Amino acid sequence: MHFISTRDATHRATLSETLTRGLAPDGGLYVPADFPSVDPRDAPDGSLPAIAAHMLRPFFAGDPLADRLDTLCQDTFSFPVPLRDIGQQTAVLELFHGPTAAFKDVGARFLASALSHLNEGADQPLTILVATSGDTGAAVAAAFHEKPNVEVVVCYPKGRVSDRQERQLTGWDQNVRTVAVAGDFDDCQRLVKASFQDDVLSGEKRLSSANSINIGRLLPQLTYYAAASRWYAARHGAVPGFIVPSGNLGNAVAALYARAMGSPMRPVVMATNANRSVTDFLDDGTWNPTPTQETLATAMDVGDPSNMERLRHHWPTIEAVRAEVDAHLVTDEAIEHEIRRGPSTWDTIWDPHTATAAAVRARVGGPHWILAATAHPAKFDTVVEPLIGETVPVPDALAAVMARSTPAPVIDPTMEAFRRFVL
């Protein structure tokens, strides 16, 4: 089982190589050369680590990481991922019980464990660059902090993440450093991408990335969709559809991977915020990335989602894309409406991201839908609390991470400034 670049199918790489490099040398994204056929119902038991190892085994065959697969899956899913029924033949897959209270803990913990292991004995640490719209950076910082053989540089758009997100991003020490960029998320993403083409930086450092451009994010994420489809079928005797709050599309593409590999799943629907490049693409078939627009679901404020390149690689025509996935746009007004009615309608407090999925649930109709719950509402207290008129209790793990905050330096969104900071 090998991986290829979205831009050059003749470029082959092993799992370890793709995880270490992040981006392919030609600037493309790594994708599986083909999808192995794996049914989650054949896993030895129904626990998430067991299903995850079962789903990922073909990708690990013959790789230096092969005998680490079970440990990796246990390290990654060291926290519960409950599938909770909320009535009206709807369930919520709660992906936010990790250290930073968002689903990005999953990919970050998988990568941290894999990369730290792969770099044992190297004479220079691997430098992981992360551009974050809020949750990725925090998850990566928490997952890599104090891990040997790896260091992390996190950059985030100043003033465009929530106060609590910012406190999670800053205040790290030792092998984790954070910088605020005076710009938006696309500026941050551009700086990270350009770093790999930068002769000075790539000469001085061994660079890798932990954004959703790294296939090491998608692989563990596909496993919870596979697991949820098995759990749902066992509980309700029905095949569920999935609604996924989407920004950079890493989580939604992971769901499509799980289904392509043979997990029993009905439609996958992306819920986007007011950033409309994806819904416009599905409507009229032309891909026109738009400038990023700020919304209440900040971690989904992406005008030019990088995983579109993976989506269009696997499903190259608009007809193929439409057959695979649907998308619905949810405005800030609709997000507020869902959060407000969450406690009475679903007995649930939504965060602004998961609220987009709840809004789409009302539109798709029919039974048997699973909503991917991507963040804990306590991370977005300033949005959520005024709408529901009550305080959201902060989970212990989140409180511990936030307690360590100190301000990060701010730089201009230029390569020169970023290079200086990294070096």
Ligand X SMILES: *Cc1c(COP(=O)(O)O)cnc(C)c1O
Q: Establish if 278 lies at the interface with ligand X (CB under 6 A).
A: no
Q: Establish if 240 lies at the interface with ligand X (CB under 6 A).
A: no
Tokens coding 284: 């009229």
Q: Establish if 132 lies at the interface with ligand X (CB under 6 A).
A: no
Tell the smallest beta-carbon distance from residue 71 to ligand X (Å). 25
At position 153, the amino acid (one-letter code) is V
- DSSP assigned state of 120: T
- DSSP assigned state of 375: B
Tell the smallest beta-carbon distance from residue 282 to ligand X (Å). 15
Return the closest-CA partner of residue 401 out of 78, 56, 142. Answer: 142
Of these, 300, 334, 360, 371, which contacts ligand X (CB under 6 A)?
300
Of these, 248, 275, 277, 279, which contacts ligand X (CB under 6 A)?
248
Looking at the DSSP assignment, which residues form a beta bridge with residue 370? 91, 242
Q: Establish if 247 lies at the interface with ligand X (CB under 6 A).
A: yes
- Taking the least distance from each CB to ligand X, the nearer of 125 and 134 is 134
Q: Establish if 168 lies at the interface with ligand X (CB under 6 A).
A: no
The span from the CA of 423 to the CA of 408, in Å, is 16
The span from the CA of 149 to the CA of 260, in Å, is 35
Give the footprint of ligand X on residues 60-79 (CB under 6 A).
none
- Which residues in 43-95 belong to E strands, given as ranges? 83-87, 90-94
Count of residues making up the chain:
423
x-or-dash string of contact with ligand X, 77-106, rule CB under 6 A: -------------------------x-x--
The per-residue DSSP string of 289-336 comes to: -------SSGGG--SS-TTHHHHHHHS-SHHHHHHHEEEEE--HHHHH
Q: First vs last Cα of the chain: how many Å apart? A: 36
Q: Establish if 256 lies at the interface with ligand X (CB under 6 A).
A: no
Give the footprint of ligand X on residues 104-123 (CB under 6 A).
104
Q: Establish if 177 lies at the interface with ligand X (CB under 6 A).
A: no
x-or-dash string of contact with ligand X, 181-220, rule CB under 6 A: -------------------------------x--------
Q: Binding segment for ligand X among 19-27, 58-66, 121-129, 243-251 (CB under 6 A)?
A: 243-251
Buried b (16+ CB within 10 A) or exposed e, 368-379: bbbbbbbbbbbb
Residue pointed to by tokens 């079970």: 70
Of these, 98, 250, 303, 342, which contacts ligand X (CB under 6 A)?
250
- List contacts with ligand X (CB under 6 A): 102, 104, 135, 212, 245-252, 299-300, 353, 374-375
